[in-house]
Structure 1
Amino acid sequence: MSVSVLEGMYAAEAEYFATGDFAPLRRFFAPDFVLHQAGGLPYGGVWRGHDGLQRFFAAMSRTWEVFEFVDQAFLATTSPLVVLTNVHARARATGRELAFPILQAITVAGGRITEVRPFYWDTAAIEVACST
């Protein structure tokens, strides 16, 4: 069941990046959700609750013109789930493109995502790509 929550969330996330509508994402996240992003990222920090998540997605949209999941592998399918995602991205400010992996540890409880901890391969490369 946890994998189906993530599959639905990833589809809603793609819809958000296409339309800017956050509403479809809300149902996949617990109200007290916590996202931990590496401090060296343009959108680094701890993001809490639905309002924090909405601000995070807005910051991601300001940072990336393109942020596509090339492929994903579910390495652990019970909570906490572990997902390896290969990303193709293009920075909005510079037009620079990157390809990189992200490993995410995702906790699901009661059919909703309660915590996400993404681990980026090279946060310095992301900072360079996004800096003018």
Structure 2
Amino acid sequence: MSASSARATPDPNLDPSDVTMEKRVRPERKLVNDYNEMLTADGEGAFADRLRGFLAEDAVCHEASNLPWGGSWSGIDGFVEMFGAFARSMEEAPNVTATGVSAGPASLMARGELVFREYSLVVPTTGNHPSEHPCIERYLIENGRIQSIAVFFFDTTALVKLLQ
């Protein structure tokens, strides 16, 4: 077969608008990426004010109910409370070094108004053995803001056990 006759067959399941090229990133993906960078950066100003740059005023986050910070959290104030509950649960866990908690490298996939983020929550332990907890988050983007986030840890039981 000659090089001129070897042509790639387009994938009928691929929407060309979802393809991310080096110079073009879907705005939904960029929003989710920038939001997560903001969460890990030392930012100036009140945390609630920084959240407002990314979240709809009535945004909601759903976390597994068996987690110490679990439940459904609504609005900017709800997100502030959720992140506070998350931080307290890490600080109060006897086997966790809370200052080193981080999200490992993430992969983002966008399809229309939905963005999926896959990563591992890395929790340092007092025994110097990081505990990794795979997670997928589903973001719904509306009007250029995050409207909802649903968080799915692979094994919430293991995460809860670590925090006890």
- For the criterion TM > 0.5, the same-fold answer is yes
Mapped pair 1:26 → 2:59? no
Mapped pair 1:45 → 2:45? no
Distance 1:84 1:69 in 2: 10
Mapped pair 1:120 → 2:146? no
Distance 2:86 2:46 in 1: 14
Distance 2:81 2:128 in 1: 23
Q: How many residues in Structure 1 have an aligned counterpart in Structure 2? A: 129
Corresponding residue for residue 15 of structure 2: none
Distance 1:20 1:41 in 2: 29
Q: Do the aligned partners of 1:34 and 1:48 also contact (CA within 8 Å) in 2?
A: yes
Call closer, same or farther: CA 1:72–1:128 in 2, change over 3 Å.
same
- The alpha carbon displacement at 1:42 in A equals 0.8
Q: Could you list the per-position Cα deviations for residues 28-76 of structure 1 after superposition, in whole angstroms to 9, with x for gaps in the alignment?
A: 0000001111011010100000010000011111122133121111133
SS of 2:101's equivalent in the other structure is strand
Corresponding residue for residue 80 of structure 1: 114
Q: Could you list the per-position Cα deviations for residues 76-132 of structure 1 after superposition, in whole angstroms to 9, with x for gaps in the alignment?
A: 34321111112211479x99842011111100111110000011011011111111x
Distance 1:59 1:91 in 2: 19
Call closer, same or farther: CA 1:86–1:20 in 2, change over 3 Å.
farther
Kindly provide the amino acid, as one letter, of the partner of residue 129 in structure 1: L
**TM-score scaled by length of structure 1:** 0.86
CA RMSD of aligned residues (A): 2.4
Call closer, same or farther: CA 1:67–1:21 in 2, change over 3 Å.
farther
- Which structure has the larger Rg? 2
SS of 1:8's equivalent in the other structure is helix
Q: Do the aligned partners of 1:102 and 1:121 also contact (CA within 8 Å) in 2?
A: yes
**TM-score scaled by length of structure 2:** 0.70
Taking only the aligned residue pairs, the percentage that are identical comes to 23
Distance 1:120 1:75 in 2: 17
